Amino acid sequence: MRKNLQRVFALALTGAMMAGTVSAFAAEEATGMDSWTAFEETVELAIPVYDRGAEGVPDVSNNYWTQWIQENFGDQYNINVTFVPITRSDVMTDYALLAAAEDLPTVLMEYDYPKVAQWAADGYLTTIDLDEFAKVAPTYYQSMVDNNQLIYTALGDETYFAMAERPYYNTTYRYQTWVRMDWLREVGYDHVPETREEWVDAMTKIKEAGICEYPGGGFMIGNGSDQTQPWRTYPMDETEWAIHGDYNILPLGWEPNYKLLKSANADYNAGITNPEYYITTQEDAKANFVNGKCYSYSDYIGPVMDTLTAFYEANPDAELAIVPAGATSAEVPAWRAENPFGMIVGFSSFASEDEIKAAWMYMEWLSQEENLFTFQWGIEGENFNYDAETGLPVAVSDYDGEYKQGYNSSKDYWCIVIESKEAGTIEQVVEANTPQDLPQNFTEDIIQFYYDRVELAAQGYGPSDCQFSVPIEAQSEYLTTLQELYKEYRDNLTMCAPEEFDALYEQYAQEYLDAGYQAVIDERLEAYEAGNTTKLPIYE
């Protein structure tokens, strides 16, 4: 009996192993890079890349790394890969002009859902079959599955998008603010101000001590500024979050926005904000920080940060500090968590089947660990070296040779796959991405910042924006109108006399509603009530 059982078990095991082998063989045969062959005729593949107008970086559409892609990927599969520069500050116009010329790149990608939804509504994007995508790009697809991103790939009943990975999206620890600790010490602070009261007090003292005329600095706002999370009430009302929480069309008329602008008005009238902020560009603001004309500077961290390097050269005795996660110059130490995805990748409706397949192949090829690593870190001994203790790569911050990478370690190229350079534990990742070769090292502070943010996120202080699974047509219709209107109203409200603020705010809020915001929130509410949105997580 026992022998019989053993036989049955052995047979079953053998059968299962054979079936597994056959199915694995079949799967391997049908999918992924092993299944690819070169196209018979050359296929054109156009990939967008942000042109940020940054100084000291190679030509975005023709450099060592674009050629590296052509040689290592394009030439293998008879694909001609070209890169289409997209002005970072004017993405929608660039794509619109390319569409008008029927010259859209094969891939269209952006970080913001309303923008890609508009492209879909305008017919720029073609629908895709995710099963087919999974066959050509299984590594990329699996990453989407692992990161629970499949729910974001469709608009209504149609699937349009693939999603890049965004590690640690809910903490946004990579965006940091540096402040003048030496100035704070001069006015009696031994810590970075943690509340709005402390912040206003410190700014006033710095100003009165003659250390800096306008410590609050400031620069003209762009789209995506004026985020209301630090002015919201927690736990949030889910309906309000769904209809007002978006940062592309700012919620003029919503209580948190009122509080934000009221404080901006107070800071302006107290002489904390630079009175020329509205004609000061972001680059001018960086120069102001370097030249000791403002208190703080915010940016995404990277191994090479030119502004900080220039700052220490100009101010060798200065001391900087990172603003801790629990500190705020508003009401609540809350922030806008990034989307649970990086780039939202769509495909041109002008592209042929072969071109779209080439795009999927490119995404899969770049998802391979060795290719992604080389693209992110560069050449060993040139762009980076391995740390003898940890064995992890460390970027050469002042590298300026033949293999020089694009802006922020060529991120605008590999962002189609992932949003940040990751290697090892969070401590190791932070260490690798913290600015190198500066008189001060911020690694420990940023690691602490990360863990504090994890705790705050668990309490609901880092909400992501609501995502809609149906197109909100009013958003596409009124996006540019409302964005332009907001800039105008916002500056008028910031610079008006304090006693005029409330009446002016009320007037502008009504005009904003009439100009299209009412239509936007009505449609969002309808989608929310119909269950076509993500939900706000419930926190203990």
Partner 1 sequence: MAFGKSKTPGLKVHTTWRKALARDWQLYLLLLFPVIMVVVFNYASYPGLRMIFMDYKPAKGYDGSKWVGLGTFEKVFRDKDFHRSLRNSIVFNLLDLAVGFPMPIILALILNELKFPRFKKVTQTILYLPHFLSWVIIGSVAYQLFRPNSGIVNIVMMNWGLIDKGIPFLTEKWHWAVTYLLIGVWQSMGWGTIIYLAAITSISGELYEAAMIDGASRWQRMWHITLPGIKGTVVTLLIMNLGKVMNSNYERLDQFGNTQVKDFQYQLAVYIYDKGLAGSKFSMATAVGLFQSVVGLCLVLIADRVAKALGEDGLI
Residues that bind partner 1 (CB under 8 A): 90, 92-93, 96-97, 99-100, 102, 104, 118, 122-124, 220, 275-276, 278-279, 349-350, 479-481, 484, 487-488, 490-492, 495
Q: Which is nearer to partner 1, 367 or 476 (CB)?
A: 476
Least Å from the CB of residue 313 to partner 1:
23
Q: CB nearer to partner 1: give 29 or 488.
A: 488
Smallest separation, CB 55 to partner 1 (Å): 15
Q: Which DSSP symbol is given to 248? A: S
Residue 99 or 334 having the CB closest to partner 1 = 99
Specify the residue, 171 or 475, whose C-beta has the smaller distance to partner 1.
Answer: 475
E strand map for 88-217: 107-110, 154-155, 158-159, 162-163, 175-180
> Residue 433: which H helix or E strand, with range?
helix 426-433
CB of 67 to partner 1, least distance (A): 31
Please report how close the Cβ of residue 220 comes to partner 1 at its closest, in angstroms: 7
296 membership: H or E segment, kind and range: strand 296-300
Judged by CB, which is closer to partner 1: 492, or 518? 492
Torsion of CA 131, 137, 142, 145, to 10 degrees: -50
Closest to partner 1 by CB, 124 vs 297, is 124
Minimum distance of partner 1 from residue 311's CB (angstroms): 20
**One-character DSSP codes across 73-114:** IIHHHTEEEEEEEEEGGGHHHHHHHHHHTT---SEEEES-HH
Strand partners, 176: 299
Ordered DSSP codes for 256-294? HHHHHHHHHHHHHHTT-B-TTGGG--HHHHHHHHHTT--
Q: With respect to partner 1, which residue has the nearer C-beta, 53 or 188?
A: 53
Measured between alpha carbons, how far is 375 from 184 in angstroms, rounded to an integer?
41
Nearer to partner 1 (CB atom), residue 84 or residue 320: 84
User: Are 318 and 312 contacting, i.e. CB atoms less than 8 angstroms apart?
Assistant: yes
| Min CB(274)–partner 1 separation in Å | 8
Query: Would you say 118 or 533 has its CB closer to partner 1?
Result: 118
Nearest residue (CB) to partner 1, 287 versus 470: 287
φ, ψ dihedrals at 300, nearest 5° = -75, 140
Q: Could you give phi then psi for residue 177, rounded to 5 degrees?
A: -120, 125
Distance of CA 399 to the CA centre of its chain: 25
Q: How far apart are the first and last CA of the chain?
A: 56
Q: How far is the CB of 264 from partner 1 (least distance, A)?
A: 13
Only one residue has tokens 């990034």, namely 338
The DSSP code sequence of 326-377 is: T--SSSSS---PPPSSS-EEEEBTTS-HHHHHHHHHHHHHHHSHHHHHHHHH
Tokens of 297: 């500077």
Shortest Cβ distance from residue 520 to partner 1 (Å)?
A: 14
Least CB distance from residue 243 to partner 1, whole Å? 22
CB of 496 to partner 1, least distance (A): 11
